[in-house]
Structure formats: structure tokens, C-alpha cells
Structure 1
């Protein structure tokens, strides 16, 4: 129950209880053995208290009374703590589908009236088909206790009847009964219409299947397939259909793709259950393969358009407008461009020229490697990075001596795409942040980055990370010339130590 203002909920407000069922012995056992471990005894006691507001042999809506009656029946304090506890217990009942709380505003009394609509506990078959409730029960009592409760409440079908053929022998209504259509009772029809239209029936919320329907899948599924019988069971398994549509939406699969995956071996367990992990693995492979083919088609189409534009000689699209670079976003000219262009000209090239022009300048001793061209073409055409951003990336790789491998480039491109880098200015800010981070990391590890030696030497006389070790001068000392007698004495000393003398 969502109550934002505690003044709108008190023991003085009135309430009604609505239900259209009566508790059977099986329902009572489900409440005590299944629902009570999940929500607690107080919530189950509240459910029984609300249930008894109507006689057990009747359904409908109870009389309007003050909520003080519920507080006294549950021995709750008529205070803020008691109200919060009552709201907490109703929230537990609402979360597991046993209660729905509605607030109505009555103009005659200028106050709210709370309507508590009760729902019958699920049958054992329906409960253990509900994945959320089963997992909650497992978290409360453990896996093996869930197995024990299921075996206690569900009696299995005899083994001899599982594989036997069945035939429906039930007699339909109109084969046994005949209605008198000659007499028209307007009073009866009016009374039945009023009772039916007074309040529409509101059952439990069902699992809404969005996406592929069972009829779509079974229509396109092969008849001779080994998994045909398992797919036919999906008509009565709405949760498995929801899982299939979730996988299809997650990996952007078409109906034909999903039918082909359901026809794969191992997608269904021997008991007919859907193996979700294997289905997602195979769907991921199909998704990656389709993505790779789509990228290849896009690059091939771009190459064809470029060749056609070059052959036609019409120049293709009109020339792009030249963009200037502000001074604060100027990048330093690398050594390979020193003497060829100024800083202004170099930044103009980065902003307005295609990345292939920059690569030709860097790899001027030969042709640009095909692998690098393919990687950057993928970045340009498939990932959608602009030419100016790619040029800044190339500048960053060259100046910082980064690897030109595909993995290194895609790592940087992925980071730029995730940070929404789309303009020249954003790309410059990005590489400056990366450079500062690298310098800070090097300083933290005790290594001085290039150009920072003088800054460290004059940074003060603070605590040093390592002791200053004496350095050995690279100067050869004068070697004294030994006489023949000294060499002979050394030879004898060595022989004596070796035991030869």
C-alpha cells in the first residue's frame, strides 16, 4: 500500500472487503505451508481477518465499517507505529498477489474509503509454475524444502499413463440440455444484466506476451522436427513464451531466426523445459554474425559509391564548409610535421582533411597497412565517428607512442563512444584528460614523465619515495702495471688455494 501522507490513513477511515471465493482445505494448507514462510504469520492473520469480514459461505462486498475494527482484531495500537505496521503487512499481501488495495473518495462524507479486494491462493500447479514466487520461497526455506513441499502438495501422474494416448469423451452442454427459447423473461434478463454490469470481473494480472505469438511460431516451425512436440507445448506455457520473446528482443531476432534456434538440438530439455542459457548463447552467435555481415555490407556499399562518384566525375556531394579551430583547442605539431606546416595549418588539417590524408603523411615511406585502413573504415562507417574525431585519435596514437593494433584502437574508440565524444573540441578535451591521467599515474608509481624532471627537482625538499643511492662514475681508473715477480706470486697463491701445491 502506497501512502504518502499518514493523515490520509487512520483507524477512523472506513473500509470494505470484496472477494469472490471461499477458502477450501487446500487453500488453507497453501496459506500455512507456502505463503506463511514467505510473508510471515502477521500478514496471513491479516488475510484471514479480512476474509472473515464476509460469511464464509457468501461472496461479494462487506458492510462499510471503520478500520478500528481491524486494528482491534489484530491487537494493533491506534497510533502511527500501528498504522505503519498495518501498511507493511498489506504491502506483503499485495506483493504476492493475495490482496489489492483501492482508495475511493466519497463526496457525501468528504473522506476516503479503502476497499480491500482479496484473491484466492494459487493452486500448487500454478504456484510452482510462477518463477518469482518459487524463487522467493527458495530464498526463505531453501531448495530442498521447496522440493519437499512440492512433492507433498503435488501427486505425480502414474508412469503407465504418461505415454498413453488420450481421447476426450466429455459430453458438451447442448447435446444433453435444451433451453426454452420461446419464453422471453425481460425481468430476469434485466436483473442478470445489472448484476453482470454492476462491477466488471477483475482477475489476477496475467503474463502479457509481447512479441511473437504461439501461432506465429508454430506456423513457421518444421513439422518433421524433433522439437515439434516441445514447441507445441508452448501454447500452455506463457512464461516460456515470455522468455523466448525476451531473447528475441534482446538480440534483435526475426521470427525465422527464432524458429531456427528452437529447432536446434539441446534447446529443450528432455522434460520439455526451455534451456534458456543455451538459447541465449546461440542467439548471441546469430546476433554477432548478422552484425558483422551488416558492417561489411555497409563498408562495401561506401566503397562502391566512392568508385562511382570518381568515375562519374561530377565531384559527388558539394564541398564541405571549412571549419576553424579556436586557439584553446590547438594541438602541438608532431615531429613528423615539423618544418612542413605551422601549428595553425596542422590543426586546420586535423579539423577539415580526411583521415586518409593524415595516414599518408604518417606512413610516407610506404603504403598505409590494409589492416589499419580496415579498422578505421569500420570506425568511420559503422561506429559513426566523424573525420575530425578520427584525426584527433590518430594524433593521440602517434604522439603518445600508442599501439596501432586493432585492439588498441577499438579500446580507445569504445571509450570515446561511451563518453559521447562527437566533435573536434570534445575529442581534444578527451585526449588531454587521458594524457593528464597517464602523467598522474606515472608520478604515483615513482616514474617521472618526460619534461617533468626539472619541475620535480625544484618542487621542494619534501619526503622522498626512495633513498638516494650513490652513482658509479663511468670513468676507467688507471690500471697499475704489475711486474713479473708479482704475477708469479699471484699464480702460486692461486695454485695453493686450488690444492695443487
Structure 2
């Protein structure tokens, strides 16, 4: 229960209960031995108190009461602490799937009314198949207690039958073999009266999924009769959710009934129980969608080339197309590839008025690479960018003299960015290019400053480790040659010679 302000949840606010079930002894056993260890006795006490607001043996709504009845029934104080305890117990019930709380705004008295919808406990099989609930119970009571609880809910099969694999034959009698209904006795007034007296739930219904509008009859009429998946597809006649899911996938990927049948006929679309694998269907539909889109783009480019040649031949004798001037403030510099071949005015006039197929040829001494020609052809025919904008794009990715820019991914990214920013004129494209150049220069300055700072910090760190000097080697004093040599007397020199001869004789 999410309550942002405790003044919106007081003992004076009114509430009512709705439940559409009645507790069985097995449900009581589940509440006492499974749910209570997980969420506590106080939360289970709140659940039982809410349950008995509707008379036993009946379903539907309780009367409107003030929440002081809940607080008094649980022994809680009429203060903030008691309300927080009630919110905590209700939140635990909601977390394990026993309660759903809604807040209704009543415009007459400008206040809230709370609805507590009780939900029946899960059966033992359903509970222990629910992984997060089973893990929570294991954390609370331990592994061996969980095993013992699971065994306590079911009576064992006789050993004589459990040890032998027997063939099972269904000999049950279906409804229509035993009973015959009078189709003419259908009473519309009875149906209407039964619908009117049934409990009407006013809960917020989930928004309907977008649909392609493909009816079950359109699918089953086109589906192969000998297909292994036909028996699963026939379930859509009574399974509205499955039909809605396949219609949503068809709407998402623009599939018609024939394409949808072809996908549903493939292996792996249904599991062993006949449930539709929506993720697998979406993956196959996405592949089909991408193939169709690629073929459509190629078809458009082929038709445009064919029509372009026909128009060129038919209009070869017509007058030249109109030239648009370029203001000086919108000039872009001449790239290095075209330096000396034209001045800045001629270059910008070419970029403003020439088709991209001719403009791009000026950057290459020979033929334009085929992959590059296809990229700009797709931008022209599929993205529908104007020719001056494509020429500015060519100037940006080819004329800026940066080899790293001439990649398919970079060109597509820039073209997509232009489409998103609604760049549809030559002037807007020039402004976009100048903005990008400024951003790149600023980024480069930041990277240079970061490198310079890192180098300075590294030098300072080394200097600190060496006691303030710039070298790691200790300072060793060097003996200087002063050039002064003391003279030796002849007597002293003779003594040294005798000593040397004496040492030679000993050796």
C-alpha cells in the first residue's frame, strides 16, 4: 500500500470489502501453515478480519465503514503508529498476492474511499510452482520444513499403482452426449437479468492492445488444414487473449493475414501445451519486417533511377534548372581535396545547386566507391533529405579530411540526426555543421586539458617521491680535476721502482 501522506489514510476514512470466493479447509490450512510464516500473524489476522466483513457462504461487497473499525478489531491505537502498522500488514498481504487495495476519489464530499479486494490463497500446486513465493518460504522456515509442508498437503498414491506404469483411457461422458438443450428456449431477458444482478466490478481495466483487426475467421480460412499447429490456432476461437496477442504483433510489424498464418505455421511457435510463444513470434515477425522493408527500399531506389533517366531524356532540351544564391554568412570553407580547383563562392554554389550524385564525384579522382554511392542513394530516396542538405552532409563527412568519418555507421548516424532535428534547408544544414564542428573542437580541448593535467600530476608525484628533485638517482659528488699535480723527487721515485721489482719477484 503506497501512502505518501498519512493524512490521506486515517481512521475517519471509509472503506469496503469485495471478495468473490469462499475459503475452504484447504485454503485455511494454506493460510495457517504457509502464508503466516512468510508475512506474520498480524497480517493474517487482518486478512481474516476483512474476510468476515462479507457473510460466510456469500460473495460480493460489504457495507461502507470507517477504518476505525479495522483499527479497533486489530487492537491498534487510533494514532499514526497504529495506522502505520495497518499499512505495513496490508502491504505484506499485497506482496504475496492475497490483497489488492484501491483508492477511489468521491467528488461529492471531496474525500477518499478505500477498496480492499481479497484474493483467494493459491492451491498447494500453484504455490510451490511459484518460484519467488517458494524461495521466500524457504528463507523463513528452512528447506526441510518446506519439504515436509509440501508432503502434508497431498495424500500419497497407493504403492501398488505408483510402481507400475499403466495405460490410461478416458471413458468420461461429454456433456452433449448426455444432455440436449433446446436452442429455441434461449431467454434474452434472463441473460440480461443475470448480468444485472451479478456483482459489478468497477476496477480500472487495462488499456486494450493495439490491433491489426485480423479476425479469427481470416486466420483459420488461410491456415493449412494438415499443419501440426492448426489445433493450437483453432483455440483462438475461444481464447481472446491469444487472438489479441497475435493481432498486436501483426499491427506492430505491419503483417497481413497471409504473413501471420505463415509465421504461425512455423515450428516452435507453440509450446507442448499449446500456449503461444509470443517472443518467438515477435522475433520471426521482426525478421520478416526487416526483409520487406529492405525490398521496399530497393524497389523505391530502382523506380527512382528509372524515372530519373526517363525524365532526363525527356527534358534534355528543356531550360536549365533555376539556381539559388548563397549568402556570404552561409559559406563553408573549400575542402583540401578541391583547393585550387574552385574558390569559396563557386564551391558553395555547387553545394547549394548541384545534385548529390555529381557533387560527390568531385571528391574522387575516379569512380565513387559503390558502397558510398548506395549509402547516399538510400538517404536521398528513402530518408527523403533535400539535395542541398545531402551535399552539406557530403562536405561534413568527406570534405573535412578525417578518414575516420567515412564509415557507413557514421554517415547513417549524422543523417538520422538531421532527420530528427528537421534539417530540411541548406541554411539549417550549414548551421548544424558549424554547431557540430564547435562541439568537436570543445571536446578536443577538454581532452587535451585532461591529458596535460594528468601529465603534470604525474611529474609532481614523481618529484614528491624523490624529495623534491626531478631525478630518482641520489646526488653523488663528483671529483673535479683541478689540473694541479705534485712533483715526485728522484729518491722517492727510485724507492717506488725497487718496491715494484720486489713485488714482481715475489709473484
Tell me the TM-score range normalised by the shorter chain. 0.5 to 0.7
1:435 pairs with 2:440 = yes
> 1:376, CA displacement in angstroms?
0.8
Q: What is the rounded CA distance, in whole Å, between the counterparts of 2:258 and 2:170 in structure 1?
A: 33
Q: Which of 299, 304, 309 pairs up with 1:307?
A: 309
Q: TM-score, normalised by structure 2?
A: 0.67
Q: Which of 269, 272, 293 pairs up with 2:271?
A: 269
> 1:88, CA displacement in angstroms?
5.2
| Corresponding position of 1:355 | 356
> 1:429, CA displacement in angstroms?
3.7
> 1:111, CA displacement in angstroms?
6.8
| Corresponding position of 2:174 | 168
| Corresponding position of 1:114 | 113
> 1:293, CA displacement in angstroms?
0.5
Q: What is the rounded CA distance, in whole Å, between the counterparts of 2:67 and 2:167 in structure 1?
A: 53
Report Cα offsets for 1:108-163 as digits up to 9, x if no partner. Answer: xx5747353534427659968xxxx95654674589989x969968999x997877
2:18 and 2:118 in contact (8 A); partners too: no
> 1:382, CA displacement in angstroms?
1.7
Alignment of 1:446-465 (within 5 A): none
Q: List gaps (5 residues or longer) in structure 1.
A: 182-188, 447-455, 469-501
1:309 and 1:316 in contact (8 A); partners too: no
| Corresponding position of 1:497 | none
**If you compute each CA radius of gyration, which structure gives the higher value, 1 or 2?**
2
Aligned in 2, Cα 1:463/1:55: closer, same or farther, shift over 3 Å? closer
Q: List gaps (5 residues or longer) in structure 2.
A: 463-469, 471-507
- Tell me the SS of whatever aligns to 2:115: strand
> 1:438, CA displacement in angstroms?
6.5
Report Cα offsets for 1:351-410 as digits up to 9, x if no partner. Answer: 4433223212112x3232333211110122223333333223322333233254434533
RMSD across aligned positions (CA)? 5.1
Report Cα offsets for 1:231-275 as digits up to 9, x if no partner. Answer: 234556555555544543443333322211111123233343444
Aligned in 2, Cα 1:242/1:78: closer, same or farther, shift over 3 Å? farther
| Corresponding position of 2:368 | 368
Q: What is the rounded CA distance, in whole Å, between the counterparts of 2:394 and 2:152 in structure 1?
A: 66
Q: TM-score, normalised by structure 1?
A: 0.67
Q: What is the rounded CA distance, in whole Å, between the counterparts of 1:7 and 1:30 in structure 2?
A: 35
| Corresponding position of 1:485 | none
Q: What is the rounded CA distance, in whole Å, between the counterparts of 1:122 and 1:324 in structure 2?
A: 76
Q: What is the rounded CA distance, in whole Å, between the counterparts of 2:207 and 2:155 in structure 1?
A: 23
| Corresponding position of 2:254 | 252
| Corresponding position of 1:219 | 221
| Corresponding position of 1:28 | 28
Alignment of 1:61-76 (within 5 A): 61-76=61-76
> 1:168, CA displacement in angstroms?
1.6
| Corresponding position of 2:10 | 10
- Tell me the SS of whatever aligns to 1:297: helix
Aligned in 2, Cα 1:138/1:370: closer, same or farther, shift over 3 Å? farther
Instruction: Give the length in aligned residue pairs.
Output: 437
| Corresponding position of 1:335 | 336
> 1:428, CA displacement in angstroms?
0.8
| Corresponding position of 1:279 | 281
2:13 and 2:112 in contact (8 A); partners too: yes
- Tell me the SS of whatever aligns to 1:391: helix
2:90 and 2:99 in contact (8 A); partners too: no
